[in-house]
Amino acid sequence: MNSKLVRWALSAFVLFGALMLAGALSLCVGSVGIPLKRLLCLPFEGRGSVEYSILFDVRLPRLLLGIGVGGALAISGVVLQGMFRNPLVEPYTLGISGGAALGVSLNVALRMYRDVGTVSIPLSGFLGAMGTVLLVYLLGTRRGRMGLQRLLLTGVMISFICSSAIMLIMAVSKAEDLHGIIFWMMGSLEEPHGWLIKLVLVTSLCGLLTSYLFAIDLNALSLGEEEAAHLGVKVERAKRALFILASLLTGFSVSAAGIIGFVGLVVPHFVRMFVGGDHRILLPASYLAGSTFLVLCDTLARTIIAPLELPIGVITGIVGGSLFVYALSKRKYEF
């Protein structure tokens, strides 16, 4: 038991160190480089310099949003994969991203943001995501019992319906509106609202703490619903709570940063390879790994063709997919 705790502590320490290094790299690297020594002195100099504005108005907000979104998506992936006992399930499988994208597409096509303001974009994305979640939940629940297979199939079908509706909106939209829809769907950590960044970060941390309360239940559910019930788990209550938790985390992430794929699918698999399937360590380790992965991808997106910026969803898809295929080809691994 002591050796297991030491291994878990060492894993958490290594992942936390990796996040700190990724954060420092994100703050230092960009179109305007900031040396590490200069970075440590800037907070004490006060406003007035260009480097101060770049650090606190551009890079630090992106870093905090990357930590919040990356951690939230990774936690959602761990929760859903453990609950459904399916390695292909990710936060977007249940149609959450499709609902959010549909909400934003309607907002842009109807130009509601001109009357309400830019805050209506993340708000419409969140409302679209939650509307989809509610619909999936109602259709996937029968007689007070949440059927996981029915829930999964319903989510996939609703996701297809939302995708078709989005294509219809894009087909009849003007060029400027089409550009806005496509740019949002490719994902970005460039969020102008500081309060939204703080909200996502706090929500992701609260989600991590809440999910940890269900770590033992997730371990039991990974064995099957009947086995979990025999072990004393209140299965239906646990499934509802975990489904709502994963949906809220994903909804907040998508509304703030757009659709960023592969984080909730790839990161839990990678972390599970190294720390095992016990959710007591898998949850915090996945949060740290997801944050690190997204921060590094955002840094790459900002610098690879600087001063232009690539959509972060492109980077996460290429890098995450390539690394995952490579890891599977080099290591024997079973979910």
| The total number of structural domains that make up the chain | 1
Please give the residue range of the domain that contains residue 74.
11-330
DSSP classification of residue 54: I
Query: Is 4 domain-assigned?
Result: no
pTM of the shown model? 0.90
CATH code of residue 76? 1.10.3470.10
Whole-number Å distance between alpha carbons of 297 and 32 = 18
3 in a domain, yes or no?
no
In a domain, 122, yes or no: yes
Domain-located, residue 284: yes
Assigned domain for 155 exists: yes
Q: Is residue 71 within 8 Å of residue 138, measured between CB atoms?
A: no
Which tokens is 30 given?
């960009």
What does the pLDDT read at residue 22?
Answer: 94
Residue type for position 133:
V
pLDDT on residue 47: 74
Direct distance between the N- and C-terminal alpha carbons of the chain, in angstroms, rounded to an integer: 23
Contacts of 102 (CB under 8 A, 6+ apart): 128, 132, 162, 165, 166, 169
- The answer to whether position 217 is within a domain reads yes
Mean pLDDT of each 10-residue bin along the chain, 335 residues long: 80 93 90 80 76 85 94 93 84 84 86 74 87 88 80 88 89 81 83 84 94 92 84 86 90 87 87 87 94 94 82 87 75 52
CA 219, chain centre distance (Å): 22
For residue 6, being part of any structural domain is answered with no
Cα gap 281→11, rounded to integer Å: 9
Q: What angle do CA 313, 112, 252 make, to 5 degrees?
A: 40
pLDDT at position 299:
92
In this structure, how many other beta carbons lie within 10 angstroms of the beta carbon of residue 59?
A: 22
Neighbours of 223 (CB within 10 A): 13
- What is the C-alpha to C-alpha distance for residues 9 and 167, in angstroms, rounded to an integer? 47
- Domain assignment present for residue 208? The answer is yes
